[in-house]
A = this chain, B = another copy of it.
Amino acid sequence: MGVIIERATGSVQIVEHSTSSKLHHVEGLGDLSHASIVFSRDERYAYVFGRDGGLTKLDILNGAVAKRIVQGGNSIGGAISQDGDLVAVSNYEPGGVRIFDASSLELIADLPAIGTNNIRSKVIGLVDAPGDRFVFSLYEADEIWIVDLTDREHPETIKFTEVGRQPYDALITPDGRYYIAGLFGENGMALLDLWHPERGVRRILDQYGRGKEKMPVYKMPHLEGWAVAGDTAFVPAIGHHEVVVVDLRSWGQVSRIPVHGQPVFVMARPDGRHVWVNFAFPDNDVIQVLDTESKKIIRTLKPGKAVLHMEFTPRGEKVWVSVRDEDQVQIYDTHNFEKVTTLPAEKPSGIFFTNRAHKIGL
C-alpha cells in the first residue's frame, strides 16, 4: 500500500500497488507543501509531517485520520525510531526536535536546537539510526546532533560543532552507518560514521557544491534521493546539470554525468541497475534513466509538467511518478519503460509506499 500527497488541497490518496488502484481519499491534513511521511512498524499507520507543524496519524486501513496535533510552527520532516515506539519531528519554527509516543502522540522529549553560538537554529536532515537514535543538523549553528533514546526519561545528546557552514539537508546510508550532510555555505559535505562517533565529523567531496561561479539554484536537490548501487552512490549536483558519481569506500568523486537539467531526486531502482532522475524547473517535465554500469543515459521520458517525485514498488518492477501540473500519477514498467497506467490525483507530490516501514532511515 501507499500514500500520495496532494499538496494543494491538504489531502492524501491511499493506494495499493498490486493492481494499482486508489483505496481512500482523506482530507483535512493542513498545509502539505513539502510534506513527508513515515510508517508505523506494522504498516497500518502513516505519520504525515506538514509544513504548518501538523503531525497527523493516518489509519491507512480505514482511510481516516486517527489523530492530529499541531506540534510546531513550521516543520519540515520526521523520522520513526528503530523499534517503532517514537516519532520525531524536526522544526524550523521554533527550531528544534520534538519526540512523540507513536501510539498516543504524547510529547516524550523536546529538544530546542540551541547551538554553541546561542542561536536557536532551524533543524534539517532528521533521520533515524539503529539503536533508537535520531540524528539531525542545525542550519544556523553548523552542528550535527545525535540523540539516543535508549533511556526514554533521559535522552542523551552528543553534539558535533563546526561541521561546515549551513548544513541544509542530510541522509543516512541504507545500512544506517553513515550520516552525510550537504553544506549550503561552502563546498563539500560533512560525514559522520555512527559506528564511530568518537572519530568526529570529517569533510568529504570537496568538489561537491555550487563551485566558484555560482549558478542560480532553482531547487535544492533532495539528499534523501542519494542512489546507492553497489559501492557507488549517484548524487544530484547543486546548480549544475550533472549527476555526481561517488565511491562509497573512499568517499571521493569518481565522475560526473551530464544530464538534462538540475537534478532533484536521483533514485536507484531496488536492484541497483538503473538510476532514475527528475529535474528542477524549467526542465521538470523530463525524467532520465542512467545505467549504473555504463554510467550512460539510456532513456529520456517526458511524463509532462512538473514531475515532482518517483517511488519504486518494493522489488522494483514498476515506478510511480507524480506529475503535479497534469494532475496525474503515472506508472511505468521499469524493464521496458512503457507507461502501464495513469491515476488521477489533485496536484500530487510525494509518493510513499509502506515497505518504507521496514527500512532504516526512511
Which of A116-124, A135-143, A312-320 interfaces with chain B?
A312-320
A216 CA / B119 CA spacing, docked (Å): 68
| Residues of B close to A83: CB separation below 8 A | 317
Tell me whether A314 and B41 are in contact (CB under 8 A). yes
Q: Decide yes or no whether A355 CB sits under 8 A from chain B.
A: yes
Given A130-B271, A175-B272, A270-B360, verify A316-B355 contact (CB < 8 Å). Answer: no
Tell me whether B130 and A359 are in contact (CB under 8 A). no
Given A249-B231, A335-B131, verify A175-B271 contact (CB < 8 Å). Answer: yes
A270 CA / B316 CA spacing, docked (Å): 20
Whole-angstrom distance between the Cβ of A123 and the nearest chain B Cβ: 23
A175 CA / B229 CA spacing, docked (Å): 9
Q: Which of B43, B315, B360 contacts A360 (CB 8 A)?
A: B315
| Residues of B close to A24: CB separation below 8 A | none
Tell me whether A271 and B314 are in contact (CB under 8 A). no
Tell me whether A230 and B175 are in contact (CB under 8 A). yes
Q: Decide yes or no whether A94 CB sits under 8 A from chain B.
A: no
| Residues of B close to A10: CB separation below 8 A | none
| Residues of B close to A315: CB separation below 8 A | 41, 82, 130, 358-360
A75-109 vs B, Cβ < 8 Å mask (1 yes, 0 no): 00000001110000000000000000000000000
| Residues of B close to A16: CB separation below 8 A | 42
A1-25 vs B, Cβ < 8 Å mask (1 yes, 0 no): 1000000000000001010000000
A343-362 vs B, Cβ < 8 Å mask (1 yes, 0 no): 00000000000010111100
Closest to A129 in B: B271
Q: Decide yes or no whether A273 CB sits under 8 A from chain B.
A: yes
A271 CA / B360 CA spacing, docked (Å): 8
A33-75 vs B, Cβ < 8 Å mask (1 yes, 0 no): 0000000011100000000000000000000000000000000
Closest to A150 in B: B335
Tell me whether B18 and A176 are in contact (CB under 8 A). no
Q: Which of B18, B82, B271 contacts A177 (CB 8 A)?
A: B271
Tell me whether B18 and A84 are in contact (CB under 8 A). yes
Q: Decide yes or no whether A293 CB sits under 8 A from chain B.
A: yes
Closest to A128 in B: B315
Closest to A269 in B: B130
Which residues 275-292 of A have a CB within 8 angstroms of B? none
Closest to A336 in B: B150
Tell me whether A316 and B130 are in contact (CB under 8 A). yes
| Residues of B close to A195: CB separation below 8 A | 273, 293
Closest to A249 in B: B231
Whole-angstrom distance between the Cβ of A176 and the nearest chain B Cβ: 5
Whole-angstrom distance between the Cβ of A134 and the nearest chain B Cβ: 14
Q: Which of B41, B42, B316 contacts A82 (CB 8 A)?
A: B316
Whole-angstrom distance between the Cβ of A211 and the nearest chain B Cβ: 31
Closest to A176 in B: B271
Q: Which of B41, B175, B176, B358 contacts A358 (CB 8 A)?
A: B358
| Residues of B close to A43: CB separation below 8 A | 43
| Residues of B close to A317: CB separation below 8 A | 82-83, 130, 132
A: which residues have CB within 8 A of B? 1, 16, 18, 41-43, 82-84, 130-132, 150, 175-177, 195, 229-231, 249, 270-273, 293, 314-317, 335, 355, 357-360
The 3 closest A-B pairs by CB, nearest first: A314-B358, A355-B358, A176-B271
